[in-house]
Amino acid sequence: NAGVTQTPKFQVLKTGQSMTLQCAQDMNHEYMSWYRQDPGMGLRLIHYSVGAGITDQGEVPNGYNVSRSTTEDFPLRLLSAAPSQTSVYFCASSSLLAGGLDEQFFGPGTRLTVL
Amino acid sequence: AQSVTQLGSHVSVSEGALVLLRCNYSSSVPPYLFWYVQYPNQGLQLLLKYTTGATLVKGINGFEAEFKKSETSFHLTKPSAHMSDAAEYFCAVSGTGTASKLTFGTGTRLQVTL
């Protein structure tokens, strides 16, 4: 099993450009999510999904779109990149339990710089 | 709404000393609680978790944590620190239901000195 894979590992964008961060998992997890990590702020939830065709906003959704057409894939789109979106992005997946989320499995991250 | 507070953004201990990283949570429902570790330039990996049952949970690398409902705490401990424990540690809480979200604390960077 590859677990959670993310591409690219590094990306530099100019302000106003758009791009898609790819995320895939091979564990048949219902739940997938995107976080951004900034110094001193921990991980903040951008968007999440509890299954194919179902997505919802997290804590910091502005400027990002997601879709979930399959169980395996959960791409994150930056519509018009801004310097404030410079960050490290992590995708994660987990099973859903009756009482909450099970252990999250994280991808290796994408380091994005917006100039 | 749920939240997590980690007291101390940086903690320094000597090798062989006790490690204590503090985590307090707020949740309107019985929580699931997690500790994750992040080594430099890597993703996060699970140290341990509490869902139901025994309130003292043991994790990898000799770490353990105790869920104390009355204190709304889930502090992480290790009896004897090792140089390889130097990393950033995150506490997280999950609510219930299919719309659950995982909320992270801001992290504690552990430094281990000789």
pLDDT for residue A62 is more than 80:
yes
- As a whole number, mean pLDDT of residues A77-101 equals 92
Stretch 36-55 of chain B: residues touching chain A, C-beta under 8 Å: 36, 42-46, 49, 51-52
Q: How confident is the model at residue A112 (pLDDT cuts 50, 70, 90)?
A: very high
- As a whole number, mean pLDDT of residues A14-37 equals 96
One digit per residue, the tens of pLDDT, for chain B of length 114 reads 788 999 999 999 999 999 999 999 988 777 899 999 999 888 899 999 998 888 999 999 999 999 999 999 999 999 999 999 999 999 999 876 545 788 999 999 999 999
Residues 6+ apart with CB under 8 A from B82: B15, B112
Quote the minimal CA–CA distance from B15 to chain A in Å: 25
Mind giving me the DSSP string for B16-68? Answer: TSPEEE--EEE-SSPPEEEEEEE-TTS-EEEEEEE-SS-SEEE-GGG-EEEEE
- As a whole number, mean pLDDT of residues A18-40 equals 95
**Residue A72: its H or E element:** none
Contact B32 A33 (CB under 8 A): no
Cβ atoms of B95 and B49 within 8 Å: the answer is no
- As a whole number, mean pLDDT of residues A43-72 equals 95
Pick from A44, A99, A106: CB nearest B32:
A99
pLDDT of residue B96: 66
User: Quick check: A50 contacting B, CB < 8 Å?
Assistant: yes
Distance CA B79, CA B4 (A): 24
pLDDT for residue A114 is more than 60:
yes
Distance CA A56, CA A69 (A): 14
